[in-house]
Chain A
Amino acid sequence: MSNILNIESLTKTYGRIRAVDHLDLEVDKGSVYGLLGPNGSGKTTTLGILLDIVKPNEGSFRWFGEAPSAKSRKRIGASLEHPIFYPYLSAEQNLKIIARIKEKSFDDLDEVLKLVDLYKRKDDKFKTYSLGMKQRLAIASALIGNPEVLILDEPTNGLDPQGIAEIRNIVIRIANEGMTIILASHLLDEVQKMCTHVAVLRQGKKLFSGSVGEVLSVSDTVELASANLEILSIAVKDFAGISNLRKEGELIVAHVDEGVNTTDINEFLVAKGIVLSHLSLRKQTLEQQFLELLQEAK
């Protein structure tokens, strides 16, 4: 089975709020899977359930094709939300505790500390660390014992641009070595730069999932204008490959499927007797797409 993770109809409610709402997800081996959504969309709750921190109300999930257990969690390296360590212990002492829990040797502790550039500070207490160092230590702790899957929750949250770049480089380097990564983020840019696959979450529901490339290719829109927008909008509806028509000022804006080109649209409309005063194809950024997805779901 090449599926690392299968989630079926996972649901978690807090009172009347549905933090995770019948979520289905599949993560393939070797992919870098982005969970993308605004704050409060259920990303951390979902990861919490997958790691037995949060108990779901409904639904199930399987790690490595097996029912989840402490044993399967030992094959996963994870850091949730804020970096959590014993503040009065040094970085190395904290990592040793995690290595013992995972039943892994201490052999690679120096290596992971060097990877995140904390080796020189390994004997300093965690509470003396800056936020960037704490975030990096969280990544180091997740890498102990060379796990099969890496789970990172907002790994660049609260960092300065340099810190963000450092962490992204580390993650991309690890991903290139073939490790499966699940990354939760509210930053499109981050998902776009690091992930191969993405699921967009909003209020605990999955709005969309697929490869990042797929998201980008379906995200083209076309802008149309003519003397009479009413007639134009009725006519263009019949064109195969156009959907989601809406008016934006003096323009008609619509989604176009991949492979549709503007010449075809123009010919189609001319045949109907409509002359266009404006026609252009707009390549959308993931950000526009993301905001649009969130808008549509409202």
Chain B
Amino acid sequence: MIRLLQIEWGKLKSYRAFWVMIGLYLFILFSIIFGLPAILDYIAAQAGENEAIKAFKSLAFNFPDIWQNIAYVASMRGFIKIILAIIVVIFISNEFTYLTIRTNILSGMSRTEFLVAKLQVVFLLALMSTLVLFISGFYLGITNSPVITLTAISGKLQYLLAYLLEVFTYLTFALLIGTLIRKTGFSVIILLLYLIVEPIVGHYLPDQFGKYLPMNAMNNVIWSPNTSLMQVKTPEFDMDFQTAISIGDVGICLMYAIIFSGILYLYLQKKDL
């Protein structure tokens, strides 16, 4: 296991384009997480220290709701996590366009090991993203919460675990696209195109099937932010908000991670490289 990670690390550590893109991703992620409260402060100041906006800010970035809210923003469909997916697509399709997968296999890596190595990297990328959310969420929570207790902090941490699963599944999807298509540019186009294709397909499917489509399944794990403020329900404002993570939704998402890995496994076992 460590050997496979060392091999992948050897491929990535001097790969400038990879680190530039990781930097870009982190920059955008931090900008959003830290930019939002700054913007709210600015709006509040412009509106003459508007109490409603101030209250919204402290509720949105309050423990424990902050975990759900930043996990929701970071996992939005076709939003910043697409950058991570593009990084994964480049990372895997390089092996096919440079033909280096051949060197890997003929030097004595099994095809299964090759897949496990890639899945490990994908998992670490998802973990890195989750850790960034944890650290920035922790900082914002500490600076915005009126009451800081251990129960408040840990209250909705399960949303970060759900985020980890959702991003990992999405990145496994990117790994699959990059492997099946093998060409970097074309894979990225397919990845983006799929964001449009799935809603169209979903539109023609009966409602009860729509949620089983892969993107929907991933997004259903964390599907709406939930602040105390937004829980207000009136006849005019009658929207559902997520109050808990459904085990069923987690199960469907997990199943997709397994299906994508399974297809990758079969493909890599059978195909000429």
A and B: bona fide binding partners: yes
Check if A53 is an interface residue, CB within 8 A of chain B. yes
Check if A86 is an interface residue, CB within 8 A of chain B. yes
Which chain B residues lie closer than 8 Å to A52 at the CB level?
Answer: 105-106, 111
- Inter-subunit contact A100/B3 (CB<8 Å): yes
* Interface positions of B from 106 to 120, Cβ below 8 Å from A: 106-111, 113
How many residues on chain B are close to A (CB under 8 Å)? 27
Which chain B residues lie closer than 8 Å to A102 at the CB level?
Answer: 107-108
* Interface positions of A from 72 to 86, Cβ below 8 Å from B: 73-74, 76, 78, 80, 82, 84-86
- Inter-subunit contact A93/B100 (CB<8 Å): no
User: Closest residue of chain B to A138, judged by CB?
Assistant: B103
Check if B98 is an interface residue, CB within 8 A of chain A. yes
- Inter-subunit contact B98/A103 (CB<8 Å): no
Which chain B residues lie closer than 8 Å to A80 at the CB level?
Answer: 102, 106
Instruction: Find A53's partner among B6, B7, B11, B102 (CB 8 Å cutoff).
Output: B102
Known A55-B270, A55-B271, A100-B7: A89·B109 in contact at CB below 8 Å: no
Which chain B residues lie closer than 8 Å to A103 at the CB level?
Answer: 3, 108
Known A55-B271, A87-B98, A93-B10: A101·B15 in contact at CB below 8 Å: no
- Inter-subunit contact B7/A88 (CB<8 Å): no
Which chain A residues lie closer than 8 Å to B11 at the CB level?
Answer: 86, 89, 97
Check if A174 is an interface residue, CB within 8 A of chain B. no
How many residues on chain A are close to B (CB under 8 Å)? 31
Known A53-B102, A54-B272, A55-B270: A101·B14 in contact at CB below 8 Å: no
Most interface-central of B14, B102, B107, B273 (chain A CB within 10 A): B107
Known A100-B10, A101-B7: A86·B110 in contact at CB below 8 Å: no
Check if B16 is an interface residue, CB within 8 A of chain A. yes
Q: Measured between alpha carbons, how far is A78 from B105 in the docked complex, in Å? A: 11
Smallest beta-carbon distance B8→chain A, Å: 9
Check if B224 is an interface residue, CB within 8 A of chain A. no
Most interface-central of B10, B14, B16, B271 (chain A CB within 10 A): B10
Smallest beta-carbon distance A56→chain B, Å: 10
Known A93-B14, A97-B11, A100-B3: A51·B105 in contact at CB below 8 Å: yes
Q: Measured between alpha carbons, how far is A100 from B272 in the docked complex, in Å? A: 23
List of 9 A-B pairs having minimum Cβ-Cβ separation, nearest first: A74-B108, A70-B110, A51-B106, A73-B108, A101-B107, A97-B10, A54-B272, A84-B99, A100-B7
28 A-B residue pairs with CB within 8 Å: A48-B272, A53-B102, A53-B106, A53-B273, A54-B273, A55-B270, A55-B272, A70-B108, A73-B105, A80-B106, A84-B98, A84-B103, A85-B98, A85-B103, A86-B11, A86-B15, A86-B98, A88-B17, A89-B10, A89-B14, A89-B15, A90-B14, A100-B6, A100-B7, A102-B107, A102-B108, A141-B103, A141-B107
